[in-house]
Each structure stands twice: as C-alpha cells, then as structure tokens.
Amino acid sequence: MARPPLLIPRPEGLYCPGGDFFIDPARPVARALITHGHSDHARPGHGAVMATRETLDIMAIRYGEDFTRSRHIADGAITIGGVTVSFHPAGHILGSAQIAVTGGGCRIVVSGDYARVPTPTCARFEPVPCDIFVTEATFALPVFRHPPPETEIARLLASVAAFPDRSHLIGAYALGKAQRLIAALRQAGWDAPIYIHGALHQLCDYHVAQGINLGDLRPATEGKKADFAGTIVIAPPSAFATAWAQRFPDPVIGFASGWMQVRARARQRGVELPLILSDHVDWPALTATITELDPAEVWITHGREDALMRWCEMTQRAARPLHLVGYEDDAE
Amino acid sequence: MSLTAFATLLERLAFTPQRLGKERLLADAFTRMPDPERGLMLAALTGDLKLRQVTPSLLRGLTEMRADAQLFSYSYDFVGDLAETIALIWPEGTRTDPPLSEVVHELATAPKTRLPALITARLDSLGPSERYAYLKLATGALRVGVSARLARTAFAAWANLPLPQVEEIWHALQPPYLDLFAWASGSPRPEAAARAPFRPVMLSTPTDLDQLSALDPADFAAEWKWDGIRIQAVSDGGTRRLYSRTGEDISTAFPDVVDLMAFDGTLDGELLVRRDDEIASFADLQQRLNRKTVTPAMLRSHPAGLRLYDVLIWNGQDLRDEPYDARRAVLAQAVATLNPRIDLSPDLPFATWDDLAALRLNPPAAVIEGVMIKRRDSPYLAGRMKGPWFKWKRDPHLIDAVLMYAQRGHGKRSGYYSDFTFGVWNGDDLVPVGKAYFGFTDAELKDLDRFVRTNTIERFGVVRSVARTKVVEVAFEGLNRSSRHKSGVAMRFPRINRIRDDKPAVEADHLSTLQAMLTN
C-alpha cells in the first residue's frame, strides 16, 4: 500500500496527515503551524499554534493573548507524530519562517512568503535543501524586477528635499513593510523624527524591543499642521481616505509596495510618489531561488501561478499549483 | 533634452494629480529645454509627432524574440499597457542616454525594413523608464494623463499668449514648432501659412428636459443630430480639405465630397452616405472610413455627401463672431449655390421644450440620434463649453443580458476584470451578443470584478468564463447585421448600464428581441 503523502492541500489549507497539523490554515483548526504573522497566514482561533517566538508574540499583539489555547515555540527539529518539522528564516518580516517537514525520506519546505533582499528588521532567508519546495508567486511575472531599496529611498529623500513645505505621507502595511521602510530610511542616514500612525505603534514598539533600531519615532497626532512641513509620515494605506490625512500640509502621497512597479496600480491608488519596496521575492529572485534549491518538485501556493508554471515547464521542472484559497492576492 | 529627462518628465506628469501641477511641470520644461527638443516634447504630448510606422504587432514580435511569448502574454494581461510591459520585461543591457531629437529623427526617417533592428538596438541600450518613454514615443499613444488641449493650454500660459490664438494656428504648425517658440519669445505670430487651414470646432454638452426647462425656448434654435461624422469642409483659393472634428485631414478617403466643394469658405457639417434622398446608416459610412484609397465601386455603392450645420468663413469674411442666426442666414444662401449633395440641416420648428421632446421621440429617419439645441445669439466658439450648444440624444436601447466571459482591463482599469462579454438566450443556450468595458460606476466595477474572481468556471489563457448567473442591463445606440458574429448582430457603443442582481439569468432577454429590432 502506498504511503499517504507528506502534505496534501485541503480546503482549510496545507495538511500533514503524518503529524495531523495544518500549515497557515485559512480557518480555525486543532493544530496549526504558522509561517509568519500576516493576517492571511496567521489567523486566530486555532486549538494549538506552533510558530517562531516572534510570530507568536505578534499574533498575541494583534489578536490578544487568547488567540489560541496552546502556544509552542518552534526551536530546532521537533517530532510531531511520524514527521519532523523545523523552522528556518524566510527574510519576509520579523519572525517569518519557512517550515521544513521531513518524513519517510522526503523533505518538503513550505516557504510561506519570503524575500531575498536583506533588511535589518529580520533574519535573512536560509536556503534549505528539499525534495519539494512550496513557494508563493506574488510577483511571479518577468515584469517584476524590483530596484534596490536604496534607490527608492533616495527618490523619497530627493522628493522631501524638493518640497520642503510639504509633508510626505507614505502608505506602508503596519506589520513588516512599515518597519522595513523605517529601517531603510535610517540606513540611508535620515535621522530626523519619523511620524507614525496609531495603527503602527504597538508593532514598531515590538520591533524596538527585539533590538531593531528604528530611531526617533513619534505619534503623527503630535503638533500643528505647519510642524509637519518637510517631515515623513508613515501610515497604513487605508488611513489616506480618512479625515486623518487632512492634518498634514499639502501632503505628497506615497506608497511603498512591490506593486508600485506597475504605473496603473499607482495611479489607481492616487499615488504621487510610488516607491517600489517589497518584502517578497521578485521574478529574478524567485527563479534564482528555485534554481539554487533545485527541488524535484515545485508547488505553488498563491499569486501568478500560470506564469511560474510556464517557467517551470520551460526549465523542465515538475510543478503544480495548489489553488489554496484564503491568501490575499494583492496585499503586500 | 535627453531621453532620460523626457522619461522623468513623463513619469512626473503621470503621477502629478492636479492640472495646475502638470502645467507647472510643463512650463518648467519649456523654460529649461532647448529647441528643437522642447518642440518635439510638445508634439509628443499633443499627438502631432507622427511616427505611425511603429505598430503594436511589430513591437510584440520584437519582444517575443527576447522573452517567452506566453510569459509576455501573462505579463501584458497583468500590466495592461503594451509599452510598459515591454519596458519592464526587456532584458537589461548597457544604459545610454541619447538626445530626444536623435531618437525621434531616426524613427521618423528609418525605412520600414530597418525599423526592427533599430528598435531592438535602442531597447537593448536603455534603462526601463527610458524604454517606456521610447516606446510611448514610437507608438505615438502617450496616455500619460496629459491631453493635447492641456499641453496647448500649458504652452499658452507659459508663453503668456491667448489660448484661442494658439489653437487657431495650431493645425498649420509643424513639429518641432520653432516658429511657435519664437512667437513666445517676442517674434511675430506665425502665419497660418498653409492654405485651407483647420479651425477649432465648436462642441456641445449633453442635456435633458430637466435642464432645458430652466431655459427660454425662444432663445434657441434646434436641428436633428445626424449620425455620421462631424467634419469641417474648407475650400481656400483652390485648395480643398475635409477635416475630422479633431483636425485630421480625411480628404483622400472622400474624393467624391471634395469634388463637390466648389466654394470659398469654411463650413461645419456632417459627413453622411447618401443615396438619392435617403441618408444611409452609420454602418454604411464606416465602410468608407480609414481607407487610404477608395475604389470606383465603393464610390458608386456608398456615395458620400454633406449636411451643413454652420459657417465659419465665407468668401473671405470671418463670421465666427456673428450670432448663430446671422451665420445660418448666410449658410442658407450659400447652400443654394452648391451641388444638392451638400444641403442644409433643416431647422426644427418648436414653441416649447415639450414640442421638441415630441420631435425627438419620433425622428423621421433611423440615422437621427437626437436633437441639437443652439443659442440663437451665440458666436462660433472653439471647444466644448456649457451653455451655447446642447445635444439631447435619443434614449439608448436597453436589454438584459447574462455575463459570460471577462478579461482584465487596460490603462487605468488594469488589474480589474473590466472587459465583459455578455449573451442573450437562444433557445436553451446563451449566445454572445457583445462586449462592453465601460458604463459602470467604480462601485459596480468592484462588484463585477469580485463576481468574476469568485465565479470563474473555466480559463482560456487570459479569458475567464464565469458562472451564468449575473444579469446586466446593457445600453446601446444601434444594431447592425453582422456575419462575423455568431449571433448575427453587432451592437453600436454597448455599455453596462446597471447590474440587475434582482433578475435571475433565465429572465434575461432572448435573441429574437434583438432580431426584431434589426427589421425595424
């Protein structure tokens, strides 16, 4: 009799029969292994959760201490039922991990979301040799070649210098992207205070508590309108449509995202200063990672599966789309 | 100006939301840039840089030599703009920064056979945003959020010249506009040197009974809105030209009309296919459009003529400042001297707006698409301003159809499923009857996009087939017989009027409803 497969896609998410757990399930399950704290991967209400210490902390910050009945910090190789699991840095956001599942002579690495561009905000992606590599495909089109973050930060700083009377309001998702942006500004030598929206406070504080230098951060509610001239303000993009944005003088609206490489996307959002700053692999990094790992098979979770399938076909790699539901297509 | 500077300008124009901000950017460019670069830049924005040899299919072909055709197709589907897709997908090479005039010159003068090698070599030696600017130049479709009128407005404001005077001579000028920039710095105004120049056309704004009721009908004249092509017919010292309302010279496609233009003046009217007293449908006129040459058989089967609305210049006298009534009196006398294939669009008698509403509901011919309402004391003004001229179009036809297929949109709709194919019932089957990609509100677009994403039943490349459950009300202006469509009908100007979530798919319309409209 054939052995059951190590992992199988189910409506709830990717399931491991040997260990009776799900990875990043979209619905509440008895036992979940979580790659990272973004809400489409880390949901509240699971019976037990295993993740990195940082991811567990982040889930507690976002969902409250009772987000699960039982937390397990992933540390080293852990045996669950008949399989062994281990967590390895994914380079995506603080605490993000790839999950390696080994059993019956086969190893599958579920990479979650991952990035290869280094950032002070999290550990670098660690290539883990495997038989099956499960990858995202968020930016899996050859048009996505993201420029180095330094050039994008330089564009932002040039704009700040060109419009000293205006404030720069930069949209960035609260977990990961905002801190990546702040850290990159600090690396570029911008040591003035950076003003942040209330939705960013707790998560920024948590990064600082983990020893990540974000410099002088101040609440964007402090001060009069004129005080914000020449400043950089960071907020979740949803804040721009609200009255909150009216407190700033003639703001230049920016958005930090890998999607900003496509002009129409930037214009649809009414963005004046699109900043191509991503925490996912772009096309060259994605294809280079698969080439480097050279797995026997590639499984694709979400994004532009068609194009990555085509590339695998061209490079004679076995590949399959998992058609998992629940992962956000466009959030980045 | 280098190509990089031009690319940076395009980028800033595209992402500057306010009109005034765009005008400031352009003014700054006019000041900083030398001739002939600034004139070429201006011509690129106004669409007057004619480099029409570079076709999308040529560019696709070149790209498919550098990138996998299928990956290219997925990418184009996602990005929604051909030039941008190619700019982003083209492999990186060395980066040069040639002068704008150099690349324009070689694109304009290269023989067609040399174009592929030339374009490939350029793309190989540019960075991504320069590739984008280069491709936009080469294809002539800039779409960077600056209209031709805005570019001219910005020029006039920068040069401190009255916009109407700039508009007046615009069509006689040639890129790189050295004489125009000389005028801006104090030289005399360039004469409209060419004979039979195009004059900016007067346009109308839409209206309805509600708006009209606030106006006194005695102040207005009315006439039919003929469904042909608005033209300007100019005959000037033996030179005859037929222009579209945007100033495009379409004389060569209509030699029969040019032959009739035995007058000296500038007339405003509608180009129509006329067989004796009968005005043919727009579909017949379409047969004559976009042809470089026209066959004798076509001239016999689809003879064209003019129906006149207005006169701008007559026998050397500029009448544009005269009131409408006075111009029409001149026009009526003028028409009497012309070949009867050029005639006057008749005045509609009416005393009240309700009288006019009744006329609009029962036009004497199918080729009439509503009524035009013109203020009797209005001068002939360039552009579209609210007040002097109104169009009151007939109500569109409406049917309820079922959504069948969807594709992602392009341009500002890129990323949304916004191109829809819809169908009506033919027995127990749905047969596609048209495609629409506008008409809906932003909120309706989001609703339709979400429906497509969650109700896809099959994918054919970039096309998604959707569950046959969503009913939409489709508005359209007319219906033609078509042998190319399986349904046998083709709609004119179809758009999605509203979403009919209150209607189950079985209650959508049947093909027989459309077929009945054909016979009317």
pLDDT reported for residue B165:
83
pLDDT of residue A329: 57
Q: Who among A145, A265, A306 is closest to B74 (CB)?
A: A306
- Give the containing element (helix H, strand E) for A186: helix A177-187
Distances (CA, A) of A269 to A61, A238, A273, A326, B418: 29, 11, 11, 23, 17
- Give A222's Cβ-side CA count (13 Å radius): 9
CATH 3.40.50.12650 for the A149-275 domain, yes or no: yes
Position A328 scores a pLDDT of 63
Cβ within 8 Å of A, B 86-115: 88-89, 92
Nearest to B15 among A262, A272, A306 (CB): A272
Fold (topology level) of A8-143+280-321: Metallo-beta-lactamase; Chain A (3.60.15)
Residue of A141, A142, A270 with shortest CB distance to B17:
A270
Binary contact (B414, A265; C-beta < 8 A): yes
Which residues of A are less than 8 Å from B84 in CB distance?
262-264
Q: Which residue of B lies nearest to A273 if distances are taken between CA atoms?
A: B15
Chain B nearest-CA distance from A117, in A, is 19
The tokens describing B516, both together, are 């009945």
Active-site residue, from B22, B136, B225, B470: B225
Catalytic status, residue B292 = no
Length of chain B: 520
Range(s) for CATH 3.40.50.12650 in chain A? Answer: 149-275
Give the DSSP H or E segment for B498. Answer: strand B495-499
Dihedral sign computed on CA atoms, order B317, B320, B323, B324: positive
Q: Is A273 on the interface with B (CB under 8 A)?
A: yes
- Are B415 and A268 an interchain contact pair (Cβ–Cβ within 8 Å)? yes
| Contact between chains at A264 and B16 (C-beta distance less than 8 A) | no
Chain A hits for B145, CB-CB cut-off 8 Å, are 267
CB of A262 within 8 Å of a chain B CB? The answer is yes
B498: exposed, middle or buried (C-beta count within 10 Å: 0-12, 13-18, 19+)? middle
Query: Over the Cα atoms of chain A, what is R_g?
Result: 20
Domains of chain B: 3-139 (1.10.3260.10), 202-389 (3.30.470.30), 397-519 (2.40.50.140)
- Quick one: which of B320, B311, B337 has its CA closest to B234? B311
CA distance B503 to B509: 11
Contact at CB, A262 and B415, closer than 8 angstroms = yes
First to last CA, chain B: 59
In this prediction, residue A323 carries a pLDDT of 79
Task: List the one residue out of B478, B371, B465 whose CA is nearest residue B422.
Answer: B465
The answer to whether B15 contacts A304, with C-beta atoms less than 8 Å apart, is no
Q: Which pLDDT tens digit goes with each residue over B292-305? A: 778 999 999 999 99
- B contacts of A314 (beta carbons < 8 Å): 68
Instruction: Please count the residues of chain A.
Output: 332
Please report which helix (H) or strand (E) contains residue B418, including its range.
Answer: strand B417-426
pLDDT tens across the length of chain A (332 residues): 456 789 999 989 999 999 999 999 999 999 999 999 999 999 999 999 999 999 999 999 999 999 999 999 999 999 999 999 999 999 999 999 999 999 999 999 999 999 999 999 999 999 999 999 999 999 999 999 999 999 999 999 999 998 899 999 999 999 999 999 999 999 999 999 999 999 999 999 999 999 999 999 999 987 888 889 999 999 998 887 677 877 888 888 899 999 999 987 887 777 889 999 999 999 999 999 999 999 999 999 988 899 999 999 999 999 999 877 667 655 56
Tokens of B504: 């189950």
Sequence-distant (6+) residues with CB within 8 A of B183 are B159, B161, B189, B190
| Residue B75 with chain A: CB contacts under 8 Å | 141-143, 307
The verdict on B194 touching A (C-beta cutoff 8 Å) is: no
ipTM of this complex: 0.93
Q: Choose the mutation target among A263, A287, A315, A329 for the interface with B, i.e. most B CBs under 10 Å.
A: A263
A143 and B16 within 8 Å at the Cβ level: the answer is no
Give the separation between CA A190 and CA A174, rounded to whole angstroms: 20
**CATH 3.60.15.10 occupies which residues in chain A?**
8-143+280-321
- What does residue B242 show for φ and ψ, rounded to 5 degrees? -115, 120
Angle at B51 between CA B48 and CA B53, to 5 degrees: 145
- Smallest Cβ–Cβ distance between A311 and the set B71, B72, B412 belongs to B71
pLDDT digits (tens, 9 = 90+) for B174-226: 899 999 999 999 998 887 666 788 888 999 999 999 999 999 999 999 999 99
For residue A272, the chain B residues in CB contact (below 8 A) are: 15-17
Give chain B's residues under pLDDT 70: 52, 192-194, 290, 411-412, 414, 519-520
- The residue among B19, B71, B95 with the most chain A CBs within 10 A of its CB, best to mutate, is B71
> For residues A300 and B265, what is the distance between their CA atoms, to the nearest angstrom?
69
- Give the pLDDT of residue A117: 96
Q: Write out the E strands in B105-219.
A: 202-203, 205-206
Interface of B with A in 412-431 (CB under 8 A): 412-415
The span from the CA of B34 to the CA of B161, in Å, is: 20
Query: For A263, which of B14, B68, B74 is closest by C-beta distance?
Result: B14
Distance (Å) from the alpha carbon of B441 to chain A's nearest alpha carbon? 14
Phi, psi of B369 (to 5 degrees): -115, 30
Closest among A212, A222, A220 to A245, alpha carbons compared: A220
Q: Which residues of B touch A137 (CB under 8 A)?
A: none
From chain B, the residues in CB contact with A331 under 8 A are none
- Give the nearest chain B residue to A308 (CA atoms): B71
The pLDDT, as a whole number, for residue B241 is 93
Start-to-end Cα distance in chain A: 43
Do the Cβ atoms of A310 and B70 come within 8 Å? yes
B383-411: buried (b, 16+ CB within 10 Å) or exposed (e) per residue?
eeeeebbbebbbebbebbbbbbbbbbbbe
* CB atoms B74 and A307 under 8 Å: yes
Q: Which of B64, B78, B132 to mutate to test the interface with A (most CBs of A within 10 A)?
A: B78
Radius of gyration of chain B (CA): 26
Q: pLDDT tens across A211-232, in order?
A: 999 999 999 987 888 889 999 9
> Residue B36, preceding bond cis, omega within 30 degrees?
yes
Are residues B415 and A264, on separate chains, in Cβ contact within 8 Å? yes
In the stretch 126-185 of chain A, residues with CB closer than 8 A to chain B read: 141-145
Distance of residue A251 Cα from the nearest chain B Cα, in angstroms = 12
Residues 6+ apart with CB under 8 A from A44: A28, A59, A63, A64, A67, A68
CB pairs under 8 A between A and B: 69
Tell whether the torsion through CA atoms of A9, A14, A19 and A20 is positive or negative: negative
Place of tokens 């004469």: B191
- Kindly state the tokens that stand for A305: 């599966």
Collect all residues of chain A within an 8 Å Cβ-Cβ radius of residue B71.
141-142, 307, 310-311
Site from A143, A169, A255, A265 to mutate, B interface, most B CB atoms within 10 angstroms = A143
